[in-house]
Structure 1
Amino acid sequence: MKKNFIGITFLSAMYHVEAQKINLGKATDIISKGAKAFTFTNAEAVKLSQESVAYMDKNNQLAGSKDPYTIRLNKLFAKHKSQDGLILNYKVYKVKDINAFACADGSVRVFSSLMDMMTDDELLAVIGHEIGHVKNEDTKDAIKSAYLKAAALDAASSASSKVATLNDSQVGKMANAFLDASHSKKQESEADVYSYDFMKANHYNVVGAYTAFKKLALLSEGGSAQSGLQKMFNSHPDSNKRAEAIKKRAEKDGLWKDPGTVTLPKTKLTK
């Protein structure tokens, strides 16, 4: 899939991507009163998410079972395939994007370039954040929005329509629209809290969430070559402020350890 995106809902940032993009053009604005009234169940969110993930898995290079990226991810998250009542599955996309996302069906996809720049603690925080979006049903809202765009439903028809079967082209559009979707600042903040609690409950280093946000802040300051990042950051909470919120919680909990100056790695952290 060729795409310019980095949603990490958590990351809310990105580099230029290698993925095959379907241009949605000027789609109808589905965030309308009619669209919000559209009947959409958890089961339908899961089904549409499965279709979207199947499309994305087919159109991106997946790391194999013996690939260093897969081995590292499994080492970190093998015990979290069942987490907080959710059944999760993890895979790595070997692409140039810096991203990660999760879907309503429990699929978690982590991009190799993200793994190259994040330590194990930072990855735990990032994916914990993504799990939070699933648990809080933010991903249900995102796939609903993507479905309505792909099906080209307007406000009036969406209010009374039931979920229809999409053709292959529409599934591709839905997958791309899902990746383009952004969560609200409130949803992002709630997922930040979930990530911190996930780290704390599992006795991980919560400072990893702090340093991950500091790295994202550095990415957003990258100049013209990363102008796409600036646009994405405008619709999300400030990364430095999010880092400071993590620091305050860690200090209150007696878990803060000063990591020193945070910098972007010059070599890949996955080898």
Structure 2
Amino acid sequence: MKKTIFSLVLLGTIGFMNAQLNLGNITKAAGKGVSALTFTNADAVKLSKESVDWMDKNNPVAGPKDPYTVRLNKLFAKHKSQDGLNLNYKVYKVKDINAFACADGSVRVFSSLMDIMTNDELLAVIGHEIGHVKNEDTKDAIKSAYLKAAALDAASASSKTVATLNDSQLGQMANAIMDASHSKKQESEADTYSYDFMKANGYNVVGAYTAFKKLALLSEGSQQSGFQKMFNSHPDSAKRAEAIKKRAEKDGLWKDPGTVTLPTAKLTK
């Protein structure tokens, strides 16, 4: 499987994927294409929901009483309706360290990310993902992926209707979602959204700083045991952390967290 960016997907996705997450076999899209001008928000929501439904069926999802689900619900139960968005959250119990969000409001957090992030850091990561949805970056990403797949069948690329995808094509779209990347501007805007989300809700904005510091540590070769490099196509995590620190200092919200290190045991709260 190819490495991907979520954005978190956060950080639309923030990191990378490895072979454990089941995205199916990548096959040539046989469905009809759709022009960029006719791709609507409804199209993005439709394709996103179908792809996420496929991923939910093909990956281990934490049950309602699972400690990971309980923890996530405690953090985000009140944010299912956030900034005009209807969001739904689930945990994938996989070794990958990632999170992602889609145009339909689906937010998926991976258990291995939760293992290394404090609650404040998770709030920052998922706030970033929500930012990508609110800013319609996820729409742009799935549109691009869909058009690229459709271009493989040039003869059918003139259709103005989004095709109904079969199971194999849904697997391809799922991979495309995870393989999508955002521009530096989009990442910066999602960082800003995350900070504002934290500040507006009275959360500790320093969590955004320490989250990026941990991602920077993960990107260092000496720190990768058990992890793959995160944010491999993202702006430098250390620089993003410093940008958050400067804003927190300006807002009078900075509290020195001390030296940031990767935990040696799973974080459960």
What is the CA–CA distance in structure 1 between the aligned matches of 2:5 and 2:219, rounded to whole Å? 12
Partner residue in 2 for 1:86: 85
Q: Structure 1 residue 60 and structure 2 residue 62: aligned?
A: no
Structure-2 residue corresponding to 1:237: 235
Partner residue of 1:14? 16
Secondary structure, counterpart of 2:38 in structure 1:
coil
Which stretch of structure 1 is more off in the superposition, 69-78 or 17-26? 17-26
Matches within 5 A, 1:162-173: 162-173=161-172
Unaligned runs of 5+ in 2: none
Distance in structure 1 (CA, Å) of the matches to 2:36 and 2:149: 18
Per-residue CA distance 1:49-80 (angstroms, 9 max, x = gap) = 11001000001100000000000000000000
**Structure 2 CA distance for aligned equivalents of residues 42 and 133 of structure 1:** 14
- The worse-fitting range, judged by mean Cα deviation, of 48-57 and 37-46 is 37-46
Alignment deviations for residues 73-105 of structure 1 (CA, whole Å, 9 cap, x no partner): 000000000000001000000000100001111
Q: Where does residue 31 of structure 1 map in the other structure?
A: none
Counterpart Cα distance in 2 of 1:154 and 1:242: 40
Q: RMSD between aligned alpha carbons?
A: 2.6
Question: Conserved in 1, the CA contact under 8 Å of 2:23 and 2:55?
Answer: no
**Structure 1 regions of 5+ residues with no counterpart?**
28-33
Answer yes or no: is the 8 Å Cα contact 2:85–2:134 preserved in 1.
Answer: yes
Q: Which runs of structure 2 are paired with 1:167-186 in the superposition (5 Å)?
A: 167-186=166-185
CA apart distance, 1:145:
2.1
Cα 1:84/1:37, change in 2 over 3 Å: same
User: If the length of structure 1 is used for normalisation, what is the TM-score?
Assistant: 0.88
**1:116 aligned partner:** 115
Letter in structure 1 aligned against 2:261: T
Paired residues of 1:35 and 1:158 also in contact (CA < 8 A): yes
| Residue 44 of structure 1: aligned partner | 43
Sort the Cα spacing of 1:109 and 1:9 in 2 relative to 1 into closer, same or farther, 3 A. Answer: closer
Q: What is the CA-CA distance between 1:10 and the residue it aligns to?
A: 3.2
Quick one: distance in 2 between partners of 1:14 and 1:68? 24
Aligned residue pairs, count:
262
